[in-house]
Amino acid sequence: MSRLFPDVFRNPAIRASMIAIFTFGMAGAMTAPYRSIVGIRELGLSDGLYSFLAFASAAVNVVISVLLGNLADRLGEYRSAMIGACLFGIVGYGMIYAFPSAAIFAVSALLPMPIYGALNSLLFANARAAMQGMSRNDVVTANSGVRAMISLSWVLIPGVTGLVLSGASSMLPAYLFASLSCVFCQGIILFALPKRVGTEMAAVHHLTYLGALRQVVSPRISAHIAGVALITSTLHLNDALLPLIATGAAHGRLSDVGILVGIVALLEVVFIIVWSRIARKTGQMTALAAGTVIYALFLALLGFASAPWHLYALTVLAGIGAAAIISIPITYLQDLIADRPGLGSALISVNIFASAGIGALVFAAGTWITGYSGTAILSAVTGLSGITLLGLLHRRKAHRAEVAGK
């Protein structure tokens, strides 16, 4: 294939995983921007209850992702777990549309949706298993390609969904669209993903479920997750800060927010592939450090934005930096438990939960001490502290390897 489309994407399992994760991303892109509107304004949830459901749903998703990842490793194949998770997505989104009420929204948030969310890490695990025997460079490229599909789904889908429902009295049909997207995803898993024979793989994956959870929270793993979470928390902080700064200190409009998000998502799709090539030449840590510094610079400058054109000018830095932060840590996290693709990929969900928690704490502390602009600068410091922690961990690891080699 051409240099633009590397040969690794010829692999049927990787190619099908990319299409499946695009439809997975579509379901989120159709509903996430409007979830609070549906839950609070249309179904009557209080702000406090909505926040609790969001936290509880994320916590359940972490546990489910680890358990399903370990189960898939023990079975030696990921297709069965993906089929089950996707069914919960069809039901979870569908029940909110078909039976709209606060109670149904809460039940869906606490069980079907967290289980469906585990499909994200399972798709990455399936792709990772298909990469066995590939070179390190091809693994990084393939992971970047799979992750780029999620960003691609966010380029147009939120805006198109909003446009289609702009004249409607309710945003609930977005959940119907999401349920149909899950149906498409299920079809890809059933008919496009190659079946794997699991007996040989299953023989080496014998952790109990409690053992899997203990391995995830072990000091060696959790220290690295903490470093990655500090870095990726900057993405959550930007999600919260950009609309507030855009419509506040920068004197923009809500329409500017949607345009800015779309521009950055488009740039992410392009630069995810660029960063994969940089990582192949310079190494994962160097590429991640460079991307983190660029994104920290964006956040620091965001704190000084005072006009809409400032925000549009910063989209280039935002897209370049975010592309590194959302793609490179995937391979990094999987490598922490490299011999168990399911459990290693479940660390993606663990990181999402941890980074969201760190982001919430930084946002709360920053807005209490200073304003939104000051919090953006504090967010930059948070990201830089994460890459510093990872650097120290790698230096310690290299020192121990050097001592052991003597």
Q: Which of 164, 182, 206 is the last residue of a domain?
A: 206
| Contact between 273 and 142 (Cβ < 8 Å) | no
Rounded distance between C-alpha atoms, residue 162 and residue 261, angstroms: 14
Q: Are 113 and 182 in a shared domain?
A: yes
Q: CATH code at 133?
A: 1.20.1250.20
Residue 1, pLDDT score: 43
Q: Are 290 and 395 in a shared domain?
A: yes
Rounded distance between C-alpha atoms, residue 52 and residue 46, angstroms: 10
Q: Are 139 and 221 in a shared domain?
A: no
The string of pLDDT tens digits covering residues 214-273 is 777 788 899 999 999 999 999 988 888 888 888 889 998 867 877 888 888 889 888 988
Q: Are 105 and 45 in a shared domain?
A: yes
Q: Are 277 and 313 in a shared domain?
A: yes
Count of positions (residues) in the chain: 406
Closest CA to 121 of 85, 162, 91: 85
Instruction: Tell me whether residue 105 is in a domain.
Output: yes
Instruction: Tell me whether residue 405 is in a domain.
Output: yes
User: Which residues contact residue 162 at a Cβ distance below 8 angstroms, ignoring those fewer than 6 apart?
Assistant: 33, 34, 258
Instruction: Tell me whether residue 295 is in a domain.
Output: yes
Instruction: Tell me whether residue 154 is in a domain.
Output: yes
pTM, two decimal places: 0.80
Q: Are 176 and 307 in a shared domain?
A: no
Rounded distance between C-alpha atoms, residue 400 and residue 392, angstroms: 12
Closest CA to 86 of 158, 157, 181: 181
Rounded distance between C-alpha atoms, residue 177 and residue 169, angstroms: 16
Rounded distance between C-alpha atoms, residue 336 and residue 351, angstroms: 12
Q: Are 226 and 367 in a shared domain?
A: yes
Residue 390, pLDDT score: 96
| Contact between 91 and 175 (Cβ < 8 Å) | no
| Contact between 334 and 199 (Cβ < 8 Å) | no
Q: At what angle do helices 219-246 and 254-282 cross, to 10 degrees?
A: 150
Q: Is 44 left (phi over 0), alpha (psi -120 to 50) or beta?
A: left
Residue 152, pLDDT score: 84
Other Cβ atoms closer than 10 A to 381: 16
Which parts of the chain have pLDDT scores under 70? Answer: 1-7, 196-213, 254, 399, 401-406
| Contact between 58 and 353 (Cβ < 8 Å) | yes
Residue 325, pLDDT score: 96
Residue 5, pLDDT score: 57
Number of structural domains the chain divides into: 2
Q: Are 25 and 158 in a shared domain?
A: yes
Q: Are 236 and 187 in a shared domain?
A: no
- The tokens for 117 are 């969310």
Residue 200, pLDDT score: 47
Rounded distance between C-alpha atoms, residue 77 and residue 199, angstroms: 9
- Residue type at position 331: T
Q: Are 181 and 226 in a shared domain?
A: no
Q: Which of 150, 185, 206 is the last residue of a domain?
A: 206
* Angle ∠(364,36,44) on CA atoms, nearest 5: 110
Q: Are 124 and 171 in a shared domain?
A: yes
Instruction: Tell me whether residue 2 is in a domain.
Output: no
Q: Which of 145, 179, 206 is the last residue of a domain?
A: 206
Query: In a 10 Å sphere around its CB, with 0-12 CB exposed, 13-18 middle and 19+ buried, how is residue 353 labelled?
Result: buried
* Phi, psi values for residue 46, rounded to 5°: -75, 160
Residue 269, pLDDT score: 86
Residue 33, pLDDT score: 74
Instruction: Tell me whether residue 1 is in a domain.
Output: no
What's the domain range around 254?
215-406
Rounded distance between C-alpha atoms, residue 336 and residue 395, angstroms: 16
Q: Are 173 and 244 in a shared domain?
A: no
| Contact between 142 and 14 (Cβ < 8 Å) | yes
